[in-house]
């Protein structure tokens, strides 16, 4: 394709940029659109992979057929087969009626399977059959159904590594990867960063009726040097924040001001506060410390409850006798030492040693043993509250990360699929 044709595609689908990697991806997408070949789009999260699936569908012979985008990572493992392939009445608990799946409702159209690397192995086998001969079976049925659907898949993980680790079928990988399209990350697109930032800030200025944002030389250099782990999604969020919060638009935004909106910690530079021992390599340090903190919070709450009960009993007519009969239950109330700083709600020095000093791992192990003694004592009394504490921690993580499940899951040290299941289990409103 010549440059004018590529620019026409960009204008039609709202794509900003002139980098060679972006132009090559568009060129491949346009060429493969006229065929029915399966396409695998790879690239980091937030780099704009879904836009290429729309290009492929809109320029294909199926453009008048249905198009649907499915996030495989957001569907629980127990229901994804039903979502994709449908189910019969009574196939499982709650299946009150028969239901058509996405492969049936998008017949003669295109289905975009985002985060296909998160698909369970059993569902991968079903998908392979669809790709091979267009056949599938509803959950709870034995009747083979036919579909004529084009599959465009996308992932932000290395599927070859997933194949080697036994998490993704090798035959499905090669069947999906008929035509690969790689969408470059924002940090590899050079001057495209400035073009996108200008487009976003102009759009937000119109929406919020503010003066357009201008950058000085230092700010432009800073944008070009920043790694943007969140890619285009992160750049758009930064542009919106600056448009709203920087009310003085008379002067250009300086590099120092812009730096306040950039996350100074890049994923590649993050290090654990304390190295794990070799015999603990398979255990997540952060998960253990999170559990300790939860149990400490529970212990403090139980102590406060004991104080409240004792106060009530002391003012009751027969309370003195009950206190004498159960004196050992309240002995710990007067001899408690705080393990959590209640003013800051932060873990004590045992949980988070200051990074400025060298940590003695042998001493840390001994101190942690004291913590574990407390865990053994409190867990027996308060294990019934663990689910409440887990729900509370999930709600806090979601609020802190503006209900973004991916970042909340990272903060909790669990997978996004596990977080989704917990949200359903505890009926948490987002």
Q: Are 68 and 83 in contact (CB under 8 A)?
A: no
pLDDT tens sequence across 385-407: 567 778 888 888 888 888 888 88
Q: For residue 284, what pLDDT is reported?
A: 42
Q: For residue 242, what pLDDT is reported?
A: 94
pLDDT tens sequence across 179-238: 999 999 999 999 999 999 999 999 999 999 999 899 999 999 999 999 999 999 999 999
Q: For residue 82, what pLDDT is reported?
A: 93
Q: For residue 409, what pLDDT is reported?
A: 82
Is the pTM higher than 0.85? The answer reads no
Q: For residue 366, what pLDDT is reported?
A: 46
Domains of the chain and any CATH numbers: 3-184 (3.40.50.300), 187-269 (1.10.8.60), 278-425 (no CATH)
Q: For residue 296, what pLDDT is reported?
A: 67
Strands 110-114 and 150-155: parallel
Q: For residue 282, what pLDDT is reported?
A: 39
Residues in the chain with pLDDT < 70?
264-294, 296, 308, 312-386
């Amino acid at each position: 394709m010549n440059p004018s044709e590529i620019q026409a595609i960009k204008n039609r689908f709202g794509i900003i940029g002139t980098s060679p990697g972006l132009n090559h991806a568009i060129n491949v997408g346009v060429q493969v659109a006229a065929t029915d070949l399966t396409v695998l789009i790879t690239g980091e999260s937030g780099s704009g992979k879904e836009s290429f699936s729309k290009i492929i569908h809109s320029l294909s012979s199926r453009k008048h057929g249905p198009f649907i985008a499915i996030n495989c990572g957001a569907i629980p493992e127990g229901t994804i087969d039903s979502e994709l392939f449908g189910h019969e009445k009574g196939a499982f608990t709650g299946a009150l009626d028969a239901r058509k799946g996405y492969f049936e409702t998008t017949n003669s159209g295109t289905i975009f399977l985002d985060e296909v690397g998160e698909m369970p192995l059993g569902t991968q086998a079903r998908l392979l059959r669809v790709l091979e001969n267009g056949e599938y079976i509803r959950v709870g049925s034995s009747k083979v159904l036919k579909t004529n659907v084009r599959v465009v898949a996308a992932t932000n993980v290395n599927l070859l590594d997933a194949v080697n680790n036994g998490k993704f079928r090798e035959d499905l990988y090669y069947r999906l990867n008929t035509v690969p399209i790689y969408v470059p990350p924002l940090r590899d697109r050079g001057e495209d960063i400035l073009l996108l930032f200008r487009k976003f800030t102009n759009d937000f200025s119109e929406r919020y009726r503010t003066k357009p944002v201008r950058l000085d030389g230092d700010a432009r250099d800073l944008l070009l040097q920043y790694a943007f782990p969140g890619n285009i999604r992160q750049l758009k969020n930064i542009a919106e924040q600056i448009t709203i919060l920087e009310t003085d638009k008379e002067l250009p935004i300086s590099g120092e001001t812009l730096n306040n909106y950039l996350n100074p910690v890049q994923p590649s530079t993050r290090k654990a506060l304390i190295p794990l021992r070799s015999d603990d390599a398979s255990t997540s340090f952060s998960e253990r410390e999170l559990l300790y903190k939860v149990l400490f919070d529970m212990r403090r709450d139980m102590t406060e409850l004991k104080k409240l009960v004792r106060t009530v009993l002391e003012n009751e007519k027969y309370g003195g006798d009950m206190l004498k009969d159960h004196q050992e239950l309240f002995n710990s109330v007067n001899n408690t030492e705080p393990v959590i700083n209640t003013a800051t709600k932060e873990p004590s020095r045992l949980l988070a040693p200051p990074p400025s000093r060298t940590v003695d791992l042998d001493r840390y192990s001994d101190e942690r043993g004291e913590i574990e003694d407390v865990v053994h004592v409190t867990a027996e009394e308060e294990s019934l509250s663990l689910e409440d504490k887990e729900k509370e921690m999930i709600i806090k993580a979601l609020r802190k990360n503006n209900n973004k499940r991916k970042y909340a899951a990272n903060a909790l040290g669990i997978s996004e699929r596990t977080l989704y299941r917990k949200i359903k289990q505890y009926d948490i409103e987002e």
